[in-house]
Homo-oligomer: A and B are copies of this chain.
Amino acid sequence: MAQEFVKDITNRDEDFAQWYTDIVRKAELADYSSVKGCMVLRPTGYALWENIQHYVDTRLKEMDHENVAMPLLIPEHLLLKEAEHVEGFAPEVAWVTHGGDSELAERLAVRPTSEVMFAEHFQNIIHSYRDLPKLYNQWVSVVRWEKTTRPFLRTTEFFWQEGHTCHDSFEDADKEALRLLDLYKEVCEELLAIPVVGGIKTDSERFAGAEITYTNETLMYDGKALQITTSHHLGDHFAKAFDIKFQAKDGSEQFVHQTSWAITTRSIGALIMVHGDDRGMIMPPRVAPTQVMIVPIAQNKEGVLEFADELHQMLKKEGLRVKVDKSDKMPGYKFNDSEMKGIPLRLEAGPRDIAASQVVLVRRDTGEKIIAPLDGLKEKISELLDAIQNNLFESAKVRAAEKTEYMEDRATFDARIEKGGFAITPWCGDAACEAKVKEETTATARCMTFEDNQEPVIGKTCPHCGKEAKHIVHWAKAY
């Protein structure tokens, strides 16, 4: 039975891409549809997204953000208003040209992002400094026409929240963009157990239309980096294009300064690629739709199903997310199924356990078996779930550290990029140099971390072009 399951999932070190796809399908997170590049989010995949939503939405409301909803369709003339923005997005826009049988006078973009819709609305509703700050957010899906797609990682349609705020100064907008980057770091590390490296994007990697793009980057098991969340300081770019002005306290008329920021269903792809193993997915307990799977042993024996049901009700009442697998499959099948789906803790309960007033708990991350008395069971389970959450985070940190290396010469850089991971080097700041590195190695500048760039970079040389270095950059091949 175990072999049949293992057979279903490609070995992770042999073919990481196929391993990933196997998990997405076999753990029933997503399914393909007949729409190229769009996925069906199945109950478990969507429940993961709901748990991320719940965490982020609660925190955003605590931070005084308000949810709104902008139209899905964007008239072309609005998209054209901010030059850099339209240049960035035009190649990947899906265009609506017909409504019913009639051709439209102006074609409409299916939103790839909503800066321009928010800008138009802000222009309507902001008049005075009293109207600021405006802290808005929306939970929607967006569409970007992608050539090559993979479930969660790069899909034509994906889900996200997009925050859009207006402030009365450049500094306040900057504080907001950084406050959100911090929140995203918290979401990644506390909820998803994914360690991140925060920093600033180089100009070539900046969001189309932004003044500054802040990013959280993270390493996958295969050593490739993934941009898990971004937060943009938009400056007054959209304010000038859309004439979003307010009367300041001193009576003068000023442009607002804006931010925008997002976390997407891509984070679920990262969750798989950071924590999964050869037996399947591993869900960090805090985000897992099911935290404990109860498997009745010898379930036809008298009292076993009743015992399982009692445990289920008891643990559910304690606020744990628990299921019982009562299907007519054998226990071995159920064990493997629960492991493949990444459920953090398995609870086995059979006649012997009933007799001894105990259950058997099995950790998904370590495989450790723990015999736990019924007395104090809830506390034991909570303790184990915390331990699993911490272990997943600490293990991911160790793996990332092993793959992160600072160097000042190109040979060591090339070797690290080849092996996978972050190669950290001084850099001249020149976009042409950055492009050459990408062309030669396929590695891109992921970010300039706050830690590495606190002080001016003095006396270092850019190993890529030999010029004087201005920044310290994290480079990596990336998703």
Contact = CB atoms under 8 A, between A and B. Distances in A.
Interface of A: 31, 33-35, 38-43, 46-47, 49-50, 66-75, 78, 90-101, 107-108, 110, 117, 120-121, 124-125, 130, 136, 140-141, 143, 145, 156-157, 159, 327
Given A50-B67, A67-B47, A38 B72 contact: yes
Contacts of A49: 69
A157 B33 CA distance: 23
Given A47-B66, A72-B141, A90-B100, 8 more contacts: A33-B70, A34-B75, A34-B78, A35-B108, A40-B70, A73-B143, A91-B101, A96-B97
A225 B39 CA distance: 39
A412 to B, nearest CB: 39
Given A66-B43, A67-B50, A68-B43, A31 B125 contact: yes
Contacts of A124: 31
Given A95-B97, A110-B96, A39 B71 contact: yes
Tell me how many chains of this kind the complex includes.
Answer: 2
Contacts of A33: 70-71, 117, 120-121
Interface centre among A43, A92, A125 (most CB of B within 10 A): A43
A67 B46 contact: yes
B69 A41 contact: yes
Contacts of A121: 31, 33, 40
A146 to B, nearest CB: 9
15 contacts: A33-B117, A33-B121, A35-B71, A35-B108, A40-B71, A40-B121, A43-B67, A46-B66, A72-B110, A73-B94, A92-B100, A96-B110, A98-B107, A110-B110, A130-B327
